[in-house]
Amino acid sequence: MKNLRLKAARAALDMSQQDLADKVGVSRQTINSIEKGDYNPTIKLCISICRALGKTLDELFWEE
């Protein structure tokens, strides 16, 4: 399932996939795969992404 909330939060901060990847210590391809729904990140990576974007786990990763 695509993670459009992650993409929207990143875009709202005018941050590229590479910018976010650099901030959390992964490759741009990893961020791209998470956004496309092809990769299920670890909880540690989810928390790092949330901190980098100023969001909560619920806001970015919780599926209704």
In whole angstroms, give the CA distance from residue 38 to residue 15. 21
User: How confident is the model at residue 56, as a pLDDT?
Assistant: 97
CA distances (Å), 4 to each of 19, 24, 31, 49, in order? 17, 19, 12, 14
User: How confident is the model at residue 17, as a pLDDT?
Assistant: 98
In whole angstroms, give the CA distance from residue 8 to residue 11. 5
DSSP three-state, residue 55:
coil
Provide the residue-wise pLDDT of the chain in tens; the chain has 64 residues: 789 999 999 999 999 999 999 999 999 999 999 999 999 999 999 999 999 999 999 999 987 7
For 4-61, CATH number?
1.10.260.40
